[in-house]
Amino acid sequence: MKRAEKARRIGEILDQLYPMPAIPLHHGDAFQLLVAVVLSAQTTDAQVNRVTPALFRRAPTPEKLAAMTETDILRLIRSCGLAPSKARNIRRLAQAIVEQHGGEVPADMDALEELPGVGHKTASVVMNQAFGRPAFPVDTHIHRLAARWRLSKAKDVKQTERDLKKLWRPK
């Protein structure tokens, strides 16, 4: 079976199994989604969902999170992996959103990727989930599946993303 045909069939199966996949991170808006996705690195979604209610009660907006100290943020997210650097990054990203984007999460990949702690995958998730823009977040799991299904021979997730985007174009 050719790669394009295999991709089409896999897409059909996934669409049947998961017609409207919801993001497992609890959030109220684009800012909270962005923070939750940053927190999710090296941590389970369940753990992120345990810490974000208290964080978002205290700081539901970029302005309020930017006004918190790094120490106060760390106290709220300590149980997440890499908490010290995440506390620093989410405070800095909140400050950048306030200072550079008027308090609004930018709906632009490049602008998102310039925010502290935001990589390509995080920006892709936010673009897709918060703004409904086609994006293709590829993590190590997708990378491995693409190799197993022989959809990509890439050695890294960025090339896997490029390979998969050629097979699944936005609708």
121 catalytically annotated: yes
Look at residues 151, 138, 111, 85 and name the one whose alpha carbon lies nearest to residue 30.
111
As a whole number of angstroms, the distance between CA 70 and CA 105 comes to: 20
Burial of residue 26 (CB within 10 Å: 0-12, 13-18, 19+) is middle
By the 8 A CB rule, do 4 and 167 touch? yes
Residue of 121, 158, 166, 171 marked catalytic: 121
In degrees, to the nearest 5, what angle opens at C-alpha 134 toward C-alphas 131 and 135?
A: 100
Which pair of structure tokens corresponds to residue 111?
Answer: 């602008």
By the 8 A CB rule, do 10 and 1 touch? no
Which pair of structure tokens corresponds to residue 32?
Answer: 């909270």
Residue of 45, 108, 139, 163 marked catalytic: 139
Positions marked active-site: 121, 139
